[in-house]
Copies of this chain bind each other. A is one copy, B any other.
């Protein structure tokens, strides 16, 4: 390789982009969607980080047997060692770039790659750092995180943690899709003290959940939805026989199950209106497509879905804000257009299989070009452990800086200050206002 044209001599446009990125990096964040367990928010070993399903499923996809990843009683260090054997096959992925960035930022790792030669030292260094008192606070501070939104089971007592730092959100997949399971109904009964035997008592039970969650400072109701779900208002009269049939032990037909799902979903929207909670919709996932996949690595999607399925919902609840995430990247134009037209539809982050730079950049550009700037929630980490916020948000900030530099400063002559203000609104301001209650 020649050395004459080293790419570290930055062009003007790269310098501009770097300046914007550095400004965006200063911003303290609120992360509006995560899967953090507030009782154990930070990692204790590298296995907590590399056990994230992105790594286990990619390693599995690259040939590591599930039995080696999920062996009962597997020692965390041994687990990391096994995953490391596949890291070279994944070195190109953005997910591994996050891993390296975490190791560099938090544990002083200096290599180009985590290999069989260096992983043990890294593991031990990480374990030592994570064992320091205040590791959780260190991570929050270093990552410039002010608040972290949670994804709480509907029967979470929401106790024993600081709800002004870790903000509760009511996750409702189980209620909408798994009420036919006895376990779900028992959890609901236990959490609310209400036995849901008909439409009325079911509604009342759900109302109790909203009461409990909002009393604890919840900022959103959230759900993930399969691609073929289409919310409809259901007459309670049509639900009672379904509930009766379910409670008598019959298994429901798919029509009956859908009636029940729609009824619960619509009820949630009604309570969102009453309690003034945004209703986060994460649209498009099929669960357990790959039954033999690793834990949390079994879900995929059918991109043949449309926001037209939500037409009745958006029309019926003008007072409810719907921050919407779409799993299929091809859904982004619909999302942009529906948000451009419906006052209550807001674009929200870059979800899961769409959360890679190529797709984020396309989607980010379209959203900045056609959605009112106040209706654009730029990013959430979706993380399970605190350490992930830093590399994920950094990836997004880099892309955002690139789009602001190109589409606004260069192409439209915006001042850098104005572009940065737009970036900050999308990164933080909108989170505060939209979920602020």
- Residues of A at under 8 Å CB distance from B? 1-2, 4-7, 9, 11-13, 15-16, 19, 57-58, 60-63, 86, 89-95, 97, 112, 286, 289-293, 297-298, 300-308, 311, 314-315, 318, 328-331, 333-334, 336-343, 353-354, 356-359, 362, 365-366, 368-375, 398, 405, 407-412, 414-418, 422
Contact = CB atoms under 8 A, between A and B. Distances in A.
B290 A61 contact: no
Most chain B beta-carbon neighbours within 10 Å: one of A2, A7, A93, A328: A7
Given A303-B330, A372-B93, A416-B1, A315 B290 contact: yes
10 contacts: A1-B415, A1-B416, A5-B16, A11-B12, A57-B341, A58-B340, A60-B343, A292-B315, A300-B307, A330-B330
A65 to B, nearest CB: 9
A416 B342 CA distance: 44
A2 B16 CA distance: 9
A143 to B, nearest CB: 20
Contact of A369 (B2, B57, B94, B374): B94
B356 A369 contact: yes
B333 A303 contact: yes
A328 B333 contact: yes
A63 B339 CA distance: 12
Contacts of A11: 11-13
B341 A290 contact: yes
A410 B329 CA distance: 25
A293 B341 contact: yes
B92 A368 contact: yes
Q: How many copies does the complex hold?
A: 3
B12 A375 contact: no
A343 B61 contact: yes
B370 A93 contact: yes
Contacts of A297: 341
B302 A308 contact: yes
Given A92-B422, A297-B341, A311-B289, A333 B357 contact: no
Contacts of A16: 5, 7
B306 A303 contact: yes
Contact of A366 (B356, B365, B374): B356
Given A333-B329, A359-B333, A370-B93, A286 B303 contact: no
A373 B90 contact: yes
Contacts of A301: 308, 334, 337
The 3 closest A-B pairs by CB, nearest first: A5-B15, A62-B372, A302-B308
A415 B307 CA distance: 44
B306 A304 contact: yes
Nearest to A420: B1
Contacts of A2: 19
Nearest to A2: B19
Contact of A89 (B300, B328, B329, B373): B373
A81 B58 CA distance: 53
Given A62-B374, A362-B358, A366-B359, A300 B19 contact: no
